[in-house]
């Protein structure tokens, strides 16, 4: 897990501006266990930063992903989710209610998946689709 100060220091050392909006986005993402969308972040930041735009959210998130602080998840064709946990893990997505949950993976499991390819994988995203317990009961 990363800290706000760690991200800000890395941005500063690479010459990026530390704008109030950028700081607010980083603060909203730090320590989260859920997987917010741009719409959620926009809604959460709108009151304190009325001039914030989706472009600012997407560019900041893209920058954080490139620096290794989060993952951008394209789990379905409707929404993009942001995962502030950069370590490799899997995700379960409920196709009925939209629940999105982390699934831990051991190093052995990650290595096994990488060996399935004849290519040298640098990273991976694993998605499981189905119904959560609540939806499966219905």
Residue with tokens 């379960």: 92
Is 69 a residue whose pLDDT tops 90? yes
Which domains, from first to last, does the chain contain? Answer: 4-70 (1.10.10.10), 90-137 (3.30.1490.190)
Residues 6+ apart with CB under 8 A from 126: 89, 90, 91, 103, 105, 113
Please give the average per-residue pLDDT across 76-93, as a whole number: 91
- Residues 96-137: pLDDT tens digits? 999 999 999 999 999 999 999 899 888 889 999 999 999 999
What confidence score (pLDDT) does residue 76 get?
Answer: 81
pTM for this prediction: 0.88
Mean pLDDT on 9-17: 95
User: How wide is the angle at C-alpha 23 spanned by C-alphas 53 and 122, nearest 5°?
Assistant: 90
């Amino acid at each position: 897990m990363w800290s706000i100060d760690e991200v800000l220091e890395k941005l500063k050392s690479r010459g990026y501006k530390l704008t109030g909006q950028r700081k607010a986005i980083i603060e909203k993402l730090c320590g989260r266990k859920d997987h917010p969308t741009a719409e959620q972040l926009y809604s959460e930041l709108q009151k304190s930063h009325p001039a914030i735009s989706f472009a600012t959210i997407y560019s900041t998130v893209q920058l954080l992903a490139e620096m290794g602080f989060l993952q951008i998840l394209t789990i379905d064709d409707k929404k993009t989710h942001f995962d502030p946990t950069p370590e490799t893990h899997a995700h379960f997505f409920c196709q009925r209610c939209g629940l999105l949950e982390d699934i831990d993976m051991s190093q052995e499991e990650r290595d096994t998946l990488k060996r399935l390819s004849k290519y040298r994988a640098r990273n991976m995203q694993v998605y499981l689709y189905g119904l959560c317990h609540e939806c499966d009961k219905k």
